[in-house]
Chains A and B, each alone.
Chain A
C-alpha cells in the first residue's frame, strides 16, 4: 500500500508523524483507492456521516436548554422553540434530522442488499453496520420520548411493556427499565442520559465500520474483486469526495425543504399535547421508520411471539452473509434474485404502511402476509435462489467491456440503468 511509504515533507511533520502517524492516516484516507464505477447509491455512507454529526451538534445545543423532568420537559421544549435564539431551527433540524438519518440508512442497507456488499469478505462491515442501525433505533426511540408529549409517553409505555412478555422475569425487568412502577420521571431521566450516550457509541462504531471497509476496500456495482490501486480505481480525493459532496448537497436541499416548510409533517400532532397518563391516544403509532417492525409485532396474536418475531426480523440480518449461497455478489448479474429483491422492498414498504393502520381487518391480513414473506425471503429465497440461479456472465474487470471496445455499452452505464 502506498501510504506505508508516506513521509511528511516538513521536519516538524515528520517528528510528529513518527510519534503519532496521523498524517499517514490522512494520506491513506486521501489516496484510498476506490472503484471508479461507484454510482450514487454509494454516496449514502458520506451522507450518513453528515447526518450523525448534525444530530450530535444540534443535540448538544438542545441539551443546553432542555430539562429532563416530567413536569418541565414539555415547557422546556417550548422554551427552545420560542425563546432560544434559532432554537426552532436547531430543534427542527434535530427532529427532522432523525427522519433523514433513517431515510439514508434504509437506502444504504438496501444498496448493500442489492449489490451483495454484505458478502465475503465484508461480513464484519455488515455486522457493525447492523449494530449501528440497532443503536440508531434505540437513540431515535428515546429521543422521541424526551419532549414528553402524548406520543412520547404512550410510545415509551408500549415499547417498554414489550419486555414484560419475557417469561418469569418480564415484569421485574420492565420495572427495572422504568425505575418506577410506570413510565415516569425516572424513565425520562435515564432515557435522556442514554440518548446522549448512544450517538457517541455510534460514532465509535462508525470508525470501526470505516476501518473494516478500508481492509478489503469498497464493493462496487459490478460486484467483482478489483486490483487496488489499478486502472479500475480512483483516489478517494478528489474523485469520491466531490461526488459525495454533490450528492450530499442534493440531500440537504430535501432536508431543508422539510425543516423550513413542513417541519412537523413527519411527526405526530398528538406529541404537541403534554403527556397525560390518564388519557390514551386513539392510535399509538411509532415514528415512520419503525413502522415495519411495529407491523410485524402486531401481526402475531401472542405478545411474546410478536416480540420474538420483531427482534428476529432484525437479528436475521446478522446471519445474512451465511444465508446467501450465491457466489455472485451484485444483483445486476442475478436475474432471479433481482426480482425477489424488489419484492422484498415492496414487502417492507407495505409493512410500514400497515404498521400505521389499525391492526384489524385487511390490514392485519396484509401484516401477516408481509411478515411471512419477510422471513421467507431470508430463510428460503436467499439460500435456494443462490444455489439454483443461473447468473449472467460477469466481466473480468470494471474497464474490460470498455477496453474490448465496439458497440458494447459500458458496464457502468448498464449498471446505472438497472436501478
Chain B
C-alpha cells in the first residue's frame, strides 16, 4: 500500500531529524554520568549538593560569580537544605557592600540570607582583565547554557590532558579533551585531596567534579524536584480525566452510532 510506504517514509524522517548533528570533528562526546536528578522522578543527592557547594565556595568562587542565587536558596527545599543557622553563618562569612547610608557613604556589613551571592569581581571587565582576557562565565545557569548540560560540565572538569604531539598551546591556555576546540583558558584547578569534606568523603578529582556539577545543576534548576513531583501528579490526573472523558464521549456518541 502506498499509504503504509508513506508512513514509513515519514517515520524514518522523524528518526533522522531526532539525531543531533555533530558539530566539530574533534569534539568528543561528553561522559555520560548516571545523575540522581535524571529521569521523571529524579531528585538531587542532598549530601552531594552540600559538598558541591563547598567545592564551589573554596575553588570556583574565586573567579566565577553566581549572581542570580541568594544565600537563602541554600536552605530552601529541593536544594542543599542547609539548616537556617548554617545558612545564616554562610551568609555572614561574606562582607557585602551596602548603602548609601544617611551620610551618602557606602559601607560593608556581614552578609544576610537575603543577599545575592557575592561576586568575586566588581564587573565583567575586571573579571576578564584578571583572567587573561577570558571572562569566567557566571555559573547561575551554566548547566542550562551548555549543550550536553551536566555531563558536559563534568567532562570538562575531568577532561584536562597533556596536549597531543603537534599541538602547541599559548601561555595560559590548557588542553581539554571535551572542550569545544580543545583549548580552555581555565587551568585544571582540581587535584586529589584539594578540599577537605566535612562529611569525610574522600575528595578525589572525580568526586569533587561530580559534587560541584550536581551543585551547579541545582543552581540552574532549583525547581527541578518540585517540577518532577508536580509533573507526575499532573500527568496522572490528566490521564484519569482523559479516561473519564473518553468514556463519556463513547456514551454520548452511542446515541448517534445506534441510529445508523
Contacts and interface: CB of A to CB of B under 8 A. Distances in A.
Interface of A: 36, 75, 78-79, 81-82, 88-89, 92, 234, 238-239, 242-243, 245-246, 249-250, 252-253, 256-257, 259-261, 263-264, 269-270, 272-273, 282-283, 338-339, 342, 345-346, 349-350, 352-353, 356-357, 399, 402, 418-419
Contacts of B23: 282-283
Contacts of B69: 82
Given A256-B238, A260-B228, A357-B21, A242 B245 contact: yes
Contacts of B3: 418-419
B106 interface: no
Contacts of B241: 249
Given A234-B256, A242-B248, A352-B17, A264 B10 contact: no
Contact of B234 (A92, A260, A264, A272): A260
A402 B260 contact: yes
Nearest to B17: A353
B242 interface: yes
B239 interface: yes
Given A78-B140, A238-B252, A353-B16, A256 B234 contact: yes
Interface residues of B, number: 46
A342 B252 CA distance: 34
Contacts of B63: none
22 contacts: A78-B140, A89-B227, A234-B256, A239-B252, A239-B253, A242-B248, A246-B242, A260-B228, A261-B40, A264-B144, A269-B144, A269-B147, A272-B141, A272-B145, A273-B145, A282-B23, A342-B6, A346-B6, A353-B13, A353-B16, A353-B17, A356-B21
Given A79-B68, A246-B245, A353-B13, 18 more contacts: A82-B68, A82-B69, A88-B223, A89-B223, A239-B253, A242-B253, A243-B253, A249-B238, A249-B242, A253-B238, A253-B239, A256-B238, A269-B144, A269-B145, A270-B145, A342-B10, A346-B10, A346-B13
B135 to A, nearest CB: 9
Interface of B: 2-3, 6, 9-10, 13-14, 16-17, 21, 23, 40, 67-69, 73, 137, 140-141, 144-147, 149, 220, 222-223, 227-228, 230-232, 234-235, 238-239, 241-242, 245-246, 248-249, 252-253, 256, 260
